[in-house]
Chain A
Amino acid sequence: MNQRVTEFLDEFRNTVAECRRFCYAARAREFQAESIATLETLALDIADLKAEMVELQDEDVANCMLGLSLAAKALSCELRMWVALKDDDAALAWDFLAEAQSCASNAIRAHRISDHLGRYVERLEVLERLLFPPISFTSLGMVIQESHCSICGAQYGDCDHVKGEVYMGEMCVQEITRADLAEISIVQRPANKRARVTTIGEGGAQRDLLTWRLVPPSQNEGSTTGL
């Protein structure tokens, strides 16, 4: 890695360490909001450096930048979760936690620089159990008629890109472009934790499964989210 990248990695580590100090319920909301802004700036710097590395066709550093951007986003989402909880918005807090978990896991897959995040993933899982009640998730079963590779646009399977692998700073995704819904099921361990059962019926009303509050009829138009 060149000098510039090495210096940037130092800057990244210092910024992340500073922001992680505020990943606790007791920390003041304003510092958490400030840290989110700091991480947004850091994300822009990572994107700039990644673009440079793509230009130079330095795939390893480009992939490393993807790992860093996902790690920064995970931390930012955790901070947003704490802020949302303080703002009494449990549903938003849940979504940010789920996004933090997803980003942290993908950061590990993206590049070896994020290998140490395994413990952070476990921390997020502990937070999930301590901060939120047990949740029922929904999972979509579908028949895929057509899907494409996010890297080159070919029909998925026709090219040599594999989903989950990283190419020049981009993680390959199988983009489903035509599918039929086969089923919706309740599952314990879903692929998408934002797809959850949000309310239950109770005597003609609906109760929010996170806050346990009765939901005003105007907001009561569905019982699942994130599908």
Chain B
Amino acid sequence: MDIQQEDFVDVAEKALALGCQVPTGLALLPRNFESAISREELLHESEAPTVRILWRRAGLVETPIEPEGERFPQISEESFEEWVGPTIFVSGALMSQNPAVFSLALGVIANYLTDWFKGIPMGRGEARLDVVVEAGKTRYRRLHYEGPVEGLQELAAIAREVGSNEPEGD
């Protein structure tokens, strides 16, 4: 299991610059959100619709960045043993007021992947996804996860810690 952390672009500012909606709770960010210059370039991971269905079925509310009625294309690079998930955004407000929502969001993905990887021999199935956490008014951190499904709960714990660790001055 491997979790790496790094700073991420100001999500609210970037969303506005791209003509997208500013996410206020739980959201999915396109793979190239940081580097895109225009909205037309934005590409979700191919698993983004699947995650949205899982969240919807679990009663989780997403605040999508897509303008009303718009869909971003998805990039698909299929692999037998690796599930590449979308980038999950979680706002500071959600993380501080209702952290259980984020745990549930990762939990429903973990449950789905447990079944998805059932046919993979010798427990080789791995998940790869990013979580972007709002860690202050204009400070965002990206957590990159690669590892077994069981490690997603640890990712949730680290994300909560990052989200509650606002630096002074913010």
Q: Which residues of A contact B (CB under 8 A)?
A: 104-109, 115, 118, 121-122, 125, 139-145, 147, 156-157, 159-165, 174, 176, 179, 182, 185, 187, 189-193
Contacts and interface: CB of A to CB of B under 8 A. Distances in A.
Contact of A160 (B53, B73, B77): B53
B115 A164 contact: yes
Interface in B50-67: 50, 52-54, 56-57
Nearest to A120: B121
Contacts of A190: 78-80
Contacts of B19: none
Contacts of A118: 121
Given A109-B115, A189-B80, A162 B50 contact: yes
A162 B119 contact: no
Contacts of B43: 143
Interface in B64-117: 73-82, 112, 115-116
Given A105-B120, A143-B75, 5 more contacts: A139-B77, A142-B75, A160-B57, A176-B76, A192-B78
Contacts of B115: 109, 164-165
A109 B119 contact: yes
Given A139-B79, A144-B73, A144-B74, A109 B118 contact: yes
A125 B123 CA distance: 13
Given A160-B56, A162-B53, A106 B79 contact: no
Interface string B151-163: 0000000000000
Interface string B106-146: 00000010011011111000000000000000000000000
A189 B77 CA distance: 12
Nearest to A70: B119
B66 to A, nearest CB: 12
A189 B49 contact: no
Given A109-B115, A156-B49, A157-B52, A189 B57 contact: no
Contact of B75 (A107, A161, A176, A182): A182
A156 B53 CA distance: 9
27 contacts: A104-B119, A105-B120, A108-B119, A109-B116, A109-B118, A118-B121, A122-B122, A141-B75, A141-B76, A143-B74, A144-B75, A157-B48, A157-B49, A157-B50, A159-B53, A160-B56, A162-B50, A163-B50, A164-B112, A165-B115, A174-B49, A176-B76, A179-B76, A189-B79, A189-B82, A190-B80, A193-B80
Closest 5 CB pairs of A and B: A105-B119, A157-B49, A191-B78, A108-B119, A144-B74
Contacts of B5: none
Nearest to A112: B118
B46 interface: yes
Contacts of B75: 141-144, 182
A191 B118 contact: no
Central interface residue in A142, A161, A176, by most chain B CB within 10 Å: A142
Nearest to A122: B121
A156 B119 CA distance: 23
